[in-house]
Amino acid sequence: MGPNRFRWVRRAASALALAVAVLGMPVPAAANDADSYVDPLASAAYTPVLGWSDCQDGFECASARVPLDYNQPNGAQIDLAVIKLPAADPGRRIGTLFVNFGGPGPSGVDRLRERAHWPWLFSDELRAQFDLVSWDPRAVARSSAARCFSTVQEQLAFLGSVPEMPTAPGEETAFYNWSREFGERCKQQAGPILDHASTANTARDLELLRRAVGDPKLTYHGISYGTQVGAVYANMFPSRVRAMAFDGSMDFEGNVDGHEGQGTVVPLDTRQDVAQGISETFDAFLRQCSAAGPRCAFAAGEPKLKWIVLAERARLSPIRLDGQAWTYSAIINAAAELSQSATYPELASLLQQLFDAGTTLPGILPIAKGASYTGNRTEAFHAIQCADSTVPTDPEIYTRAAVSEDLRVPYFGRIPVFGSATCAFWQGRDADRYTGPWDRRTAAPILVLNSRFDPATPLHGAYAGADQLAEARVVVIEGAGHSSMYVPSSCAERIKREYLFTGVLPPDGTRCGIDRSPFD
């Protein structure tokens, strides 16, 4: 390690600077600045061959063969469904942008088809220079899926029979019994994928897909749970990172094991304080509704007081609306869900209709069951999330947490308690789950985007996750809703796009506005 080595480094740096000056090339992070660790299990696996074929509307589809168990790379193989929208300007193509839309559980193939042309998510400029590629992760949809039922009819009947979220002490038993039976059905019918569905194995799959498309390093956009995939990949393959944008970001350590021993004693989403995120986002909806005046169906009167009246009325008995009985649990969950997707006009209209119906003739109907389910989102969510996270296994912990969280965060405290309680009864286990470290230095810094008010990935969790990474910067989108996918911001898309082009982070303290009010 004599002085000649450093003269070579200086000559290389000078040549790079000249290339930047002449060609306008972005300066990548120095390779020797990145941690040299590379996951050995993925390195031992064969690179899949992607036979792309036309699958309508400009998309191309392929199937990738990857190991079921990376500890046995030449053993049983599984198939991953992959989709690509080729770069619109091949002459300026930079490479492949891999996209994971979150969940876990939804089909990445379907979501890329649906959302590739959303301009606030993937602008024309971005699509011109990158192939957009997504995939159904292991256990999901068209890939080797976790299937817990023999027929669709059996699936619909069982999933449609899930008890509503318990809203008072004593209602939990039916929910726990259903969760226990669900876990047993999946253990009996899902097969070996149940023990190999961790995010660590999905990160290994992503590494094989990167190799398959021929990119020397990974360019990645992860949304919601997709940020967990990205953080795990970044720490398993730190030198392979070209650029990574995390959108609606998680507290990675909190999601896996919690902090300071929380994992076995605090429910998963409670330890990430999702309840406060839901409450703050719903309050932002009420404020924007009030400001929108007649453009918001729920604005007449005082929206905050009307919400309290509506919720407390629904506690007494279900509210009849268009032949359906809306229980307290259904109304609370609808408010949380529609706040997440920032579909505020629809939420306002629903709340006003319920308010009108509930404050005139009360009416009591049996609670409706039998919601429509497609694919295997519910099964896949649990197969992945329950494999990744340490959770309490004593039902009494959830029962007690529901009471305390209901007092701490009125109306919304129970939702995170029971959101992943089924994991307490799950029987799939993946010995290869990733538990850290989270701070390996990557070959490029990581961009984090997060809404000011996000009910699924609260801003405080995004900051916590960014602090766990070796080098990351948070850009706050001054809106309410879950990720830039649901909170359109051309500013956020431009910052993300320029970062993905260059690998250079925006200045510290950068903020973005939203394109319009949800009620415009």
Cα 446 from Cα 249, distance rounded (Å):
11
This prediction has a pTM of 0.89
What per-residue confidence (pLDDT) applies to 360? 55
Model confidence pLDDT, tens digit, residues 445-477: 999 999 999 999 999 999 999 999 999 999 999
Q: Are 277 and 283 in contact (CB under 8 A)?
A: no
Model confidence pLDDT, tens digit, residues 304-337: 999 999 999 999 889 999 889 999 999 999 999 9
> Which residue, chain included where needed, has tokens 């991953």?
80
Q: Give the DSSP letter of residue 139.
A: B
Q: Which residues contact 282 (CB under 8 A, 6 or more apart)?
A: 335, 336, 339, 412, 455
Cα 10 from Cα 165, distance rounded (Å):
63
Identity of residue 485: M
The CB density around residue 92, as the number of other CB atoms within 10 Å, is: 11
Cα 52 from Cα 47, distance rounded (Å):
15
Q: Which residues contact 426 (CB under 8 A, 6 or more apart)?
A: 183, 186, 382, 386
For CA atoms 105, 110, 112, 116, give the dihedral sign.
negative
Cα 433 from Cα 98, distance rounded (Å):
22
Q: Calculate the alpha carbon distances from 484 to 119, 162, 490 in Å.
A: 11, 31, 9
Model confidence pLDDT, tens digit, residues 19-70: 333 333 344 444 458 999 999 999 999 999 999 999 999 999 999 999 999 9
Q: Give the DSSP letter of residue 416.
A: H
Q: Are 413 and 282 in contact (CB under 8 A)?
A: no
pLDDT band at residue 218 using 50, 70 and 90 as cut-offs = very high
Looking only at the bridges linking them, the beta strands covering 446-453 and 241-247 are: parallel
> Which residue, chain included where needed, has tokens 């329950």?
386
Average pLDDT over residues 130-155: 94
Model confidence at 384: pLDDT above 90: yes
